């Protein structure tokens, strides 16, 4: 009787185990779909994002990995229409800045950590470039985790690479103290479009086994062949009167003169925000 009881007990429990395993697999599949199907959203509906949903997304984002558990980052949430209009010129007036219900500016932030150290009789030594890189990496990891959390809820996001170009103006607009530098921005909202996914290089192009394997000319030709043959790529070159897609990048989109200008701007920002102590260089 006792053995029958135990057998019956576990037989009844097996369907629950199977259901649990099935749900776990479905959950993982859902995550796979989110990551493989992701795309940048630049058009948003007028629907707002409620505080509870946004806070839940931010909570999930802030569970991301961080250097030494220091959390040397801050997130500025911009929802006010006037504030978004003030930020727009520093993101080259891209419409999504004012149209998205939420704009998130992710900052490298040693200001808070430095104050905590001093209040605890510990003198911080983070006025240097390495500390900026540490905090910037923390901020980017959190930003990507926030992006995934938002997409898991059916929302759309888009990164804005303009943040570091005009960091000096964003600092003024968002009233950022020394020790704080904006490193990236994400727009967030309910998608009003379903754009085509942009291409990606094959895994072979970006993954190296054990050690870095440099690329031969044949490798480059093979790895970039698909990207260069896409209609959009051909159109980019034709519209800009360029012979190759590479020339669109070097001569139009990310020019040497622009790179040097924005590099100098960012270096000055790091100096003024106490992240570039010349005596330590």
In a domain, 128, yes or no: yes
User: At residue 44, does pLDDT exceed 60?
Assistant: yes
Question: What does the pLDDT read at residue 281?
Answer: 44
- The model's pTM: 0.87
Q: Are residues 22 and 113 in the same domain?
A: no
DSSP labels, 131-144: HHHHHHHHHHHHHH
Structural domain containing residue 6? 1-37
In a domain, 75, yes or no: yes
Question: What does the pLDDT read at residue 276?
Answer: 79
Burial of 45 (0-12, 13-18, 19+ CB in 10 A): middle
What average pLDDT score do residues 101-125 get? 97
pLDDT tens column, 49-82:
999 999 999 999 999 999 999 999 999 999 999 9
Query: 6 pLDDT band (50/70/90 cuts)?
Result: very low
Decide: helix, strand or coil at residue 150: helix
- Total Cβ atoms within 10 A of residue 107: 28
Mean residue pLDDT of the chain comes to 91
Report percent pLDDT > 90 for the chain. Answer: 86
In a domain, 254, yes or no: no
In a domain, 145, yes or no: yes
Burial of 251 (0-12, 13-18, 19+ CB in 10 A): middle
User: At residue 28, does pLDDT exceed 80?
Assistant: no
pLDDT tens column, 146-159:
999 999 999 999 99
What average pLDDT score do residues 77-106 get? 98
What's the total number of domains in the chain?
2
CATH number of the domain bearing residue 135: 3.40.109.10
> Higher pLDDT residue, 29 or 85?
85
Question: How far from the centroid of its chain's Cα atoms is residue 256's Cα?
Answer: 24
Sign of CA dihedral 167, 137, 254, 163: negative
In a domain, 171, yes or no: yes
């Amino acid at each position: 009787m006792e053995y029958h009881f135990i057998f019956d007990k576990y037989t009844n429990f097996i369907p629950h185990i199977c259901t649990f395993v099935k749900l776990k697999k479905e959950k993982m599949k859902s995550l796979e779909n989110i990551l493989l199907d992701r795309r940048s959203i630049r058009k948003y509906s007028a629907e707002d994002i409620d505080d509870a949903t946004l806070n839940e997304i931010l909570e999930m984002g802030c569970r991301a990995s961080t250097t030494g558990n220091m959390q040397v980052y801050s997130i500025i949430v911009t929802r006010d229409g006037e504030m978004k209009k003030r930020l727009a010129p520093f993101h080259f007036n891209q419409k999504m800045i004012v149209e998205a219900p939420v704009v998130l500016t992710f900052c490298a932030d040693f200001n808070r950590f430095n104050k905590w150290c001093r209040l605890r009789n510990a003198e911080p030594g983070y006025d240097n470039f390495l500390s900026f890189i540490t905090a910037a990496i923390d901020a980017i990891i959190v930003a990507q985790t926030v992006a995934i959390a938002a997409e898991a809820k059916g929302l759309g996001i888009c990164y804005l690479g303009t943040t570091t170009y005009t960091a000096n103006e964003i600092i003024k607009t968002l009233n950022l103290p020394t020790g704080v530098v904006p490193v990236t921005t994400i727009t967030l909202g309910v998608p009003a479009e379903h754009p085509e996914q942009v291409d990606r290089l094959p895994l072979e192009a970006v993954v190296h086994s054990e050690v870095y394997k440099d690329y031969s000319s044949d490798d480059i030709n093979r790895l970039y062949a698909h990207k260069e043959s896409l209609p959009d790529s051909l159109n980019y070159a034709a519209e800009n009167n360029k012979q190759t897609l590479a020339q669109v990048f070097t001569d139009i989109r990310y020019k040497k003169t622009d790179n040097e200008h924005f590099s100098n701007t960012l270096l000055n920002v790091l100096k003024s925000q106490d992240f570039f102590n010349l005596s330590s260089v």
